[in-house]
Chain A
Amino acid sequence: MKNESTIIDVPAESSSAMKGKAPLIGVAKDHTTSGSGGYKRGLSIFDFLLRIAAIIAASVAAGTMFTSDETLPFFTQFLQFEAGYDDLPTYQFFVIAMSIVSGYLLLSLPISVVTIVRPLATAPRLLLLVLDTAALAFNMAAASSAAAISYLAHNGNQNTNWLPICQQFGDFCLKSSGAVVSSFVAVVFFTILVVLSGVALKRH
């Protein structure tokens, strides 16, 4: 009798009992509260704005270095009295790398818009984080190698008999150093973008 009553009663209650008792397993997936969606949407909007700022910084860096040619009006002891970014392979790498980085940033704007529209989806954010980290490393490589060459151009090196060329080519030096600074600003933006994506990926 006892067994019969449990067999009859339990199926009638089981679905509601499971819905009532299952939350230990089920409710962990219930993330559709608007609270966490709101602050993640704010983070996504900030991410979008930072991306636009980083596009400006990266393209200014590429453009300034590209147009940094200088021709000296007078004769000096150097046989060459013309300087441009293509005289130094490191500066060539810099221009190419910054162009690639600004192109990548432009292409990542739609993905950023997707994270604004759907703030709780983790796949676009994860993709953005990975691509941003790779772009950060690439940008930093271009910026620091160009900075090493700029430092050498400004100060020279006595131990290796490398003379500083900035004493002759003042304008070229100024423009190329400015491009390097702008590129480091883009690196800072990238760092904030990666940290932002990491924080926004947290699940509560």
Chain B
Amino acid sequence: MKSGQAEIVETSKAIQKSGLMSRRNAILEFILRIVAFFNTITSAILMATTNETLPFFTQFIRFHAEYSDLSALTFFVIANAVVSGYLILSLPLAFVHIVKSKTQNSRVLLIILDVAMLGLLTAGASSAAAIVYLAHKGNNNTNWFSICQQFNSFCERISGSLIGSFVAVFLLILLILLSAIALSRRH
């Protein structure tokens, strides 16, 4: 009888521990979502407030540069804005996952939406990265001139805003992983 009682106490302790682990999992997910939101909103704002006017005359007819001059950068701002909006709206759902215990279907929904947002964010970040690389280095074979030699602060701004976006991509991958682990261990 005593060994039986000990077994019951041990298995209930294991369940308590797994409940604690899944709660820790959900809290970590909530925190990562907030960090990713800040990263994407910062990137979007940094890119959207680029505006440089050269004080002197150059061989270019244009001496004004902003993000809307390059369509890939416009797409970058839109993608980051959409993903940061999604992250804010998914915070209540993540909070519910901390409190509630039977969350399988909502976790599957969250994985689907997270994958879609990961695709959108990666698309925006890498197309902007390709254009920024071109702006820095130019291309001899296609006669595309590197504009960074004229627009220094514009170039620095657009390069810096890429970092937050790529960090958010990595965080989204971590979020998908955490959701999958939480799905696979539910009792």
Binding site for B on A (CB under 8 A): 10-11, 14-15, 18, 22, 25-26, 28-29, 78, 80, 83, 87-90, 122, 125-126, 129-130, 133-134, 136-137, 140-149, 151-153, 157, 159-163, 165, 187, 191, 194-195, 197-199, 201-203
| B11:A25 contact, CB within 8 angstroms | yes
| B141:A145 contact, CB within 8 angstroms | no
B145 at the interface (CB under 8 A from A): yes
B99 at the interface (CB under 8 A from A): no
| B180:A126 contact, CB within 8 angstroms | yes
Binding site for A on B (CB under 8 A): 1, 4, 7-8, 11-12, 15, 60, 62, 65, 69-72, 104, 108, 111-112, 115-116, 118-119, 122-131, 133-135, 137, 139, 141-145, 147, 169, 173, 176-177, 179-181, 183-187
- Give A197 to B183 CA distance when docked, in angstroms: 11
* Cβ 8 A contact of B180, one of A140, A146, A157, A201: A201
The residues of B that contact A88 with a CB separation of less than 8 Å are 139, 141-142
| A159:B126 contact, CB within 8 angstroms | no
* Cβ 8 A contact of A191, one of B65, B119, B187: B119
Q: Is the interface of A mostly helix, strand, loop or mixed?
A: helix
A148 CB → nearest B CB, Å: 4
13 A–B contacts from the bound complex (CB under 8 Å): A10-B1, A126-B180, A130-B180, A144-B127, A144-B130, A145-B127, A145-B130, A151-B72, A160-B147, A161-B60, A191-B116, A202-B183, A203-B184
- Give A144 to B129 CA distance when docked, in angstroms: 10
* Cβ 8 A contact of A202, one of B60, B69, B104, B129: B104
B127 nearest in chain A by CB position: A148
B10 nearest in chain A by CB position: A25
B130 nearest in chain A by CB position: A145
A18 nearest in chain B by CB position: B4
A98 CB → nearest B CB, Å: 14
The residues of B that contact A201 with a CB separation of less than 8 Å are 180, 183-184
* Cβ 8 A contact of B144, one of A129, A137, A143, A162: A162
Whether A203 contacts B186 in the complex (CB less than 8 A), given A129-B180, A198-B112, comes out as yes
| A136:B118 contact, CB within 8 angstroms | yes
| B108:A148 contact, CB within 8 angstroms | no
B182 nearest in chain A by CB position: A201
- Give A191 to B119 CA distance when docked, in angstroms: 8
| B127:A198 contact, CB within 8 angstroms | no
| B143:A78 contact, CB within 8 angstroms | yes
* Cβ 8 A contact of A133, one of B72, B126, B173, B183: B173
| A197:B180 contact, CB within 8 angstroms | yes
Whether A160 contacts B142 in the complex (CB less than 8 A), given A11-B1, A202-B104, A203-B184, comes out as no
Whether A195 contacts B111 in the complex (CB less than 8 A), given A25-B8, A148-B127, A203-B187, comes out as yes
- Give A28 to B122 CA distance when docked, in angstroms: 40
A170 CB → nearest B CB, Å: 15
The residues of A that contact B15 with a CB separation of less than 8 Å are 25
| B118:A141 contact, CB within 8 angstroms | no
- Given A126-B180, A129-B176, A197-B180: 6 more A-B contacts, CB < 8 Å: A14-B4, A28-B187, A148-B128, A148-B131, A160-B145, A161-B145
The residues of B that contact A197 with a CB separation of less than 8 Å are 180
